[in-house]
Amino acid sequence: MAAVDERHGLRLMAIHAHPDDESSKGAATMARYVSEGVDVLVVTCTGGEEGSILNPAMDTPGVAERIAEIRREEMDNARRILGVRQEWLGFRDSGLPEGDPPPPLPPGRFATIDLAEASRPLVRLIRTFRPQVITTYDEAGGYPHPDHIMTHRISVEAFEAAGDPARYPEVGTEAGLDAWQPLKLYYHLSFHKERILALHETMLARGLESPYGERLSEWIDHAEDAGRLTTRVPCADWFETRDQALIAHATQIDPTGWWFRIPMDIQREAWPTEDYQLARSLIEVGQLPEDDLFNGI
């Protein structure tokens, strides 16, 4: 582990769609970097107002009516566990439309907002926080939730725009902020086949039932996925912290559910990293794969 003084001045911004996304994607990485002295800011685009109650123990009278307030409280609890800072962009959760074809989203939801309007508060945060590294979702959103896809779009837009004083000049004028160009942009690769297969095979080798058998049997390989894994961050010592942050999102995470079916020692043995695709770098990073989001900085 790097010494704290070696990390002084480093800043990581993690951009997510809903409260709880930060704890299911890259949480152990963030906890590790916090322990090394990195300043970490989670940006949450929506309040998760349309989220269902996924933990049966929390499906009690009055919870659904207070879901927005409760999810803010859960986010604050998770933030403290991870040791990160956190900011809300203030957009309304789009929900996940169901049907074939899916119905249009209601007006005013995050995924319906004009790209420049939705990106403006994120540009402001980048120019304020001044991160060297940003993490977000890929062009498919990690999975095709409209808010995840929109999070990808505004993250790319803000990454490209924040360093150009000619773009979003009103952000600099109103807040007295200079342009700031982040150096590296990463996409989460949380559920790729190589990792799932390693966990699955280790479970079977131990004589345990794997929760991934059906998923792997239905897996379709896509040529464009080859080579996407560029960065593996060792963070197994922080897997418990990740799980504690997940459980803090009590309306969304069932502590007896599938998230926790792989014993911790197997997770550490089979796949002790969290994984990313280096989508954009303005600096020379050397040979890939790398093991540090701040490699080259």
Low-confidence winner among 94-103, 193-202, 233-242 (lowest mean pLDDT): 94-103
Flag whether 200 is marked binding.
no
pLDDT band at 173 (very low <50, low <70, confident <90, very high): low
Flag whether 148 is marked binding.
yes
Count of CB atoms within 10 A of residue 235's CB? 21
Token pair belonging to 229? 């894994």
Whole-model pTM? 0.95
- Tell me, which fold does domain 4-192+228-281 have in CATH? Rossmann fold (3.40.50)
pLDDT band at 269 (very low <50, low <70, confident <90, very high): very high
- For residue 290, give the 3-state DSSP assignment: strand
Q: What is the DSSP string of 55-118?
A: -GGG--TTTGGGHHHHHHHHHHHHHHHHT-EEEEEEEBP-----SSSPPPPPTTBGGGS-HHHH
pLDDT per residue over 28-84, tens digit each?
999 999 999 999 999 999 999 998 999 999 999 999 999 999 999 999 999 999 999
Burial grade of 180 (CB within 10 A; 0-12, 13-18, 19 or more) = middle
Name the residue ranges covered by the structural domains of the chain.
4-192+228-281
Count of CB atoms within 10 A of residue 221's CB? 7
pLDDT per residue over 112-142, tens digit each?
999 999 999 999 999 999 999 999 999 998 8
Flag whether 8 is marked binding.
no
Torsion of CA 138, 141, 146, 149, to 10 degrees: -10
- Do residues 185 and 297 lie in contact, with contact meaning Cβ atoms separated by under 8 Å? no
